[in-house]
Amino acid sequence: MAKLIGTDIASPDLLAKITGRAKYAEDFRVDGMVFAKLLLSPMPHARVRGIDAARALAMPGVLGILTADDVPQLEAPGEACLTNEPRYEGEPILALAAVDEETAAAAIELIRLDLEPLPFALDPLESLRPGGPDAWTEGNVLVEGEMKSLKWDGVDFSSVAQGQLPMGEVTTEWALGDVDAGFAQADVVVDETMVHQTQTHHPLEPRSTLAYWRNGKLFAHVSVQSTARMRASLAGALDLDIADVVVVAEYCGGGFGSKITGSPIMHVAPLFSKKIGRPVMLRITRYEETYVGRSRPGFQMRAKVGFRSDGRITAMDLFIVEDHGSYGGGGDNGTAGVLAHLMYQPENIRVRGVPVFTNTPPRAAQRGPGGVQMLTILEPLMDKAARELRMDRLELRRVNAPREGATFGPRETPLTSVHVHEAMDMGEKLFDWQEKKTWSGRRNGSKVTGVGIGVSPYTAGSVGYDGLLVIRPDGLVHIHQGVGNLGTHSVMDTARAAADVLNVGWDQVVIEWGDTSRGLPWSASQGGSQTTHAHTRANHAAGLDAKRKIQDIAARTLGGSPQSYDVAGGRVFQRGNPGRGMSFAQVAERAVALGGEYDGHTLPEDIHAMTIESATALVGQGLMGVAKDNFGRSGATYSWVVGFAVVEVDTETGHVEIKEYTGVADCGTVLHPRSLGAQILGGSIQGMGVAMSQRWVYDPKWGAALAKRLYSARPPSILDVPMDMTWAAVEIPDPDTPVGAKGIGEPPLGAGGAAIACAVADALGGRLVGRTPLTPDVILAELEGSKRPWRPLDVHVG
């Protein structure tokens, strides 16, 4: 059989998606279903002194309320699904259920809250000032698990007005070498302060939940990135036995890190359903999604980088104030520092960070967490140095980018493979960098051309999960997948690893996914670009296990040694004598008859408890392949995308048009080319949105969100990007994983964002604007030399 890996096959769920039959969480209906609505905090920080719901509860059709007193509360800084101390405007205080949403909404309006306003902080830097407000009554930073109030007493804040980040006590710090010594060897030093805005994830599907209980079991229809892991997360949060939780999540309308294993708000419907004894639908609106839907942490960052005249980086000193939001959940500053070290391999490095809590919605990983912020800040800074060094910008990156044998991070971790140089080489040709770089500064009327490069690494795979498949008497290979279906196609594509081992065609494969009652194996969470790597390995392992069992059965049945048998096209047959064999259907029946390990009666000892449970439920249904990924790995797995862009900046309007974009990936073996292209280009566009348009705006006096709508938050539209973009992959297999494939979800964002940020700076003659997003007002102010719309270190503006 031809291998499935590397070919374009439409995902088996595509027909459902294009006919409207695919059911997302809010598409389910259950008998007796009632509706819940949320009452959100009108204040950024307050204490609930009283809730008067008498009039609401008296309304016909109202079934009850659920308050913070009804839901598990967590130690600081943990986030419960409902709170008596809201820490951001829009935080859910209570939910109300009624027979319909209209009644619920009308009833909520009758509730009277008695709120005691508390001091609030929106800007991390303001919170660090002596006497500044703390987001929590307990403090503004987390030190060794304890909330603490950190103020930078004795630190001179006067530099803020000049746009330089003051630097005081931090909560995380690591260094390799001696940065002072490194700077002493530098011929060129750049030192910049930049602001990277916070942005809401805004997946297109809001995080609605339908929940009900049957015979003590919770059934939850959720919008979640990771199916199997959501079960554990929900069981943990609600203090349930995992066996009593059924998660149905066949489709997820995007998550981008905001729904990795669910979200606290998804606990409301299960708890409410339990309380009132009815199935509860909590339909989250876009307005609510803006608040409870997570966001990328912003940075106020100072970066000082020293270069020798040959371009080699001698020292890098990074200082990051991270906006930690109301409940933490980011921590991107740590990743940012590690990625900077990986990418530029500075001879000496120091990374300092302080995540500061603010009274703004919770942060979470957002596709390329830390990398995106760091790259849109550092890559233009590289270009600034290249100008001073009179070096080609691609060359400067080549001088510093890691090669085989490189290590990175505080523990000097090695890599399984690194082919960023090949990606740069390929991109140089595909994009024609040598020609296009001469377009820099070219004028066409009021428009100036800029070109830019963004190089972006990101972690791309984990190990140690389980694969599970059953070949049934229908002859089909049923591959069970516990990862989620959020559009990356890895839930389908990684199954090819098992199919290829068994040498079957795609039409002989059935994928079982999206519902934990179908028997799903323990799986990686669908985040951090893990699943392509983790589950090609797990499925390869399950495939090998099944193949071994098939060969055994053939040998037992037809004679000879197991090794003398091969598999292809749904048959097992003797090598050199293809007529002597059995169909998979026959093998499956034989496996059931034999029992033991063949049909799952006995299971490997090293697989996870969830896999055991699932496999046990599938016992006796056919030949079972089940195995843990025990393939070795000698380092960390990272993928790369190199982005190249051409932009035109209109000097009279500040408008930026992205004219061209090329993205080239180093992600090992390609599983599904067309889907890879979609990841590279789609991810790059998301990065462009981060760099160019997406915003997050707060009124400083009232602590209230202003950019609450999609049109005011501005994710990129189809008219904001080139109508034709190109992509490629170097396709060098990673040697540390059997299939050779590495993940790709994260790295395109940094590449797209940085390439555009660099191209805009290039069009501006190398000037750095010092913040994202690079909107027309910011650019025009820079060009006009007029007053900038924002003070340099201002956050949540736009």
Partner 1 sequence: MATIRDMIPAFGLFQPTSVEDALELVNDHGRKAWVLAGGLDSMDWFKDRIKRPEVVIDLGAIDELRGVRETGGALDIGALTTLTALERHDAVQKLFPMLAEAARHVATPQIRNQGTLGGNLSQDTRCWYYRSGWPCYRAGGNTCYASAPQAMNREHCILGASRCVAVNPSDTAPALIALDAKMVIRDRRRTRTVDAEDYFVGPAIDITRMTVLKANDLLTSVHVPSAWAGAQTYYEKVRDRGSWDFSLVTVAGAFWASGGRIEQARIVVNGVAAYPVRLHEVERAVIGAAVGEETARAAGDLAVQGAKPLRHNEYKVALMRNLVRRAVRSVA
Partner 2 sequence: MDEAKVTEVLEDALSRRTFIKGVIAAGATASSAGYLFRSTGGLAAATAVQGTAERLLTLTVNGQQRRVDVLPHETLAMTLRYKLGLTGTKLGCDRGECGACTVLVDGANHYACSMLTHQVRGRAVTTIEGLQNPDTEALHPVQQAVLDEGGFQCAFCAPGFIMSMTALVESTPDFTREQAAHALSGNLCRCADYQKILNCAMRAGELARARA
x/- letters, 774..793, toward partner 1 (CB under 8 A)? -xxxx-xx--x-xx-xx---
Those residues whose C-beta lies under 8 Å from the C-beta of residue 390, and which sit 6 or more positions away, are none
In angstroms, the CA 430 to CA 648 distance is 20
- To partner 2, the closest distance from the beta carbon of 18 in angstroms equals 5
x/- letters, 252..291, toward partner 2 (CB under 8 A)? xxx-x----------------------------xx-----
Q: What is the DSSP string of 461-504?
A: -----EEEEEE-TTS-EEEEE-S--SSS-HHHHTHHHHHHHHT-
Selection from 454, 465, 470 nearest residue 490 by Cα: 465
Smaller CB distance to partner 1: residue 157 or 790? 790
For the chain, how big is the Rg over CA atoms in Å?
27
Residue 488 near partner 2 by CB under 8 A: yes
**Which of 510, 568, 594, 678: binder of partner 2 (CB under 8 A)?**
678
Smaller CB distance to partner 2: residue 397 or 496? 496
**Which of 47, 387, 548, 655: binder of partner 1 (CB under 8 A)?**
655
- Give just the sign of the alpha carbon dihedral 280, 281, 284, 285: negative
**Which of 486, 501, 607, 647: binder of partner 2 (CB under 8 A)?**
486
Selection from 114, 43, 84, 86 nearest residue 704 by Cα: 43
Q: Pick out residues in 14-43 that bind partner 1 (CB under 8 A).
A: 37-40, 42
Residue 133 near partner 1 by CB under 8 A: no
| Assigned token pair, 43 | 């204040």
Choose among partner 2, partner 1, none what residue 26 binds, the Cβ cut-off being 5 to 8 Å by kind: partner 2
x/- letters, 541..580, toward partner 2 (CB under 8 A)? ----------------------------------------
The Cβ of residue 616 has, within 10 Å, a number of other Cβ atoms equal to: 12
Terminal-residue alpha carbon distance, the chain? 56
User: Do 469 and 600 contact (CB within 8 A), yes or no?
Assistant: no
Smaller CB distance to partner 1: residue 50 or 154? 50
- To partner 2, the closest distance from the beta carbon of 203 in angstroms equals 6
**Which of 50, 718, 786, 787: binder of partner 2 (CB under 8 A)?**
718
- To partner 2, the closest distance from the beta carbon of 717 in angstroms equals 6
In angstroms, the CA 597 to CA 229 distance is 26
In angstroms, the CA 709 to CA 24 distance is 22
x/- letters, 688..707, toward partner 2 (CB under 8 A)? -x------------------
Q: What is the 3-state secondary structure (H, E, C) of 243-263?
A: HHEEEECCCCCCCCCCCECEC
**Which of 712, 726, 732, 766: binder of partner 1 (CB under 8 A)?**
712
Helices 673-692 + 747-763 axis angle, to 10: 50
User: Do 702 and 661 contact (CB within 8 A), yes or no?
Assistant: no
Q: What is the DSSP letter of 771?
A: B
Residue 717 near partner 1 by CB under 8 A: yes
Residue 20 near partner 2 by CB under 8 A: yes
- DSSP H stretches of helix in 323-446: 332-344, 371-389, 393-400, 420-431, 433-436
Smaller CB distance to partner 1: residue 509 or 783? 783
- To partner 2, the closest distance from the beta carbon of 277 in angstroms equals 12
Choose among partner 1, partner 2, none what residue 37 binds, the Cβ cut-off being 5 to 8 Å by kind: partner 1
Selection from 25, 35, 96 nearest residue 279 by Cα: 35
Q: State yes or no: cis peptide before 773, omega within 30 of 0.
A: yes
**Which of 698, 730, 747, 769: binder of partner 1 (CB under 8 A)?**
698
- Give just the sign of the alpha carbon dihedral 761, 764, 767, 768: negative
Stretch in the footprint of partner 1 (CB under 8 A) among 19-27, 256-264, 546-554, 773-781: 773-781
**Which of 156, 285, 404, 434: binder of partner 1 (CB under 8 A)?**
285
Residue 693 near partner 1 by CB under 8 A: yes
The Cβ of residue 678 has, within 10 Å, a number of other Cβ atoms equal to: 16
- To partner 2, the closest distance from the beta carbon of 529 in angstroms equals 14
The strand ranges marked E within 503-561 are: 509-513
Size of the site for partner 1 (CB under 8 A): 57
Distances (CA, A) of 298 to 185, 259, 332, 615, 767: 32, 19, 9, 44, 22
The strand ranges marked E within 283-389 are: 295-296, 299-307, 313-325, 349-357
- To partner 2, the closest distance from the beta carbon of 221 in angstroms equals 12
Residue 691 near partner 1 by CB under 8 A: no
- To partner 2, the closest distance from the beta carbon of 278 in angstroms equals 9
**Which of 108, 165, 265, 665: binder of partner 1 (CB under 8 A)?**
108
**Which of 12, 67, 101, 406: binder of partner 2 (CB under 8 A)?**
101
Q: Which residues bind partner 1 (CB under 8 A)?
A: 37-40, 42, 101-102, 104-106, 108-113, 285-288, 652-655, 693, 697-702, 704, 706-708, 710-712, 714, 716-720, 775-778, 780-781, 784, 786-787, 789-790, 797-798
Residues that bind partner 2 (CB under 8 A): 8-11, 14-15, 17-24, 26-27, 29-35, 59-61, 99-103, 106, 202-206, 251-254, 256, 285-286, 486-489, 674-675, 677-678, 681-683, 685-686, 689, 709-711, 715-719, 721, 723-725
